[in-house]
Amino acid sequence: MSDDPFRAGDVFWAPDPYNEGSRPRPWLVLAADTLPYRGEEYICAGLTLSDLPKNVEIKSTNWVTGNDPTKTSYCSPWVLSTIKHDSVSAPQGYVTDEFAETILRQAVEYLADDIGLDIEFAT
């Protein structure tokens, strides 16, 4: 595991806090540098191999490095967690800024819509 802090767009493997005793799963870092404990915690969205209706496919063109061409990965923008740096078991790679931004926008929309907050993103 790297001692260097991860950045938004990085993908790493860490425990799944929603499945006790499970093997690590891949996580996409959505926020890193702006958090109060920079380099110690990351807000992440879960990755999966499940092709569920609202999951977002990570196409080969979305990967900068770390793609496994034998598997199709998806990101679940509503499966969010704060992952501690010390719990990361292995880095996998990173996705394009555009893909990370797409997932971040969708995650924010899920959070905001529940309370009726209208979010306008800068273009």
pLDDT of residue 23: 84
Q: Check residue 123 and give its pLDDT.
A: 66
Tens digits of residue pLDDT in 16-25: 888 877 789 9
User: Token pair of 96, please?
Assistant: 């394009």
Beta strand spans in the chain (E) = 10-14, 25-31, 41-48, 56-58, 63-65, 73-84, 90-95
Domains of the chain (ranges; CATH) run: 10-113 (2.30.30.110)
d(CA 36, CA 119): 23
**Whole-prediction pTM:** 0.92
The Cα–Cα gap between 15 and 42 comes to 13
Residue type, 82: T
Low-confidence ranges of the chain (pLDDT < 50): none
Q: What's the helix, strand, coil split of the chain in %, to 5?
A: 20, 35, 45
Cβ contact 17:64 at 8 Å: no
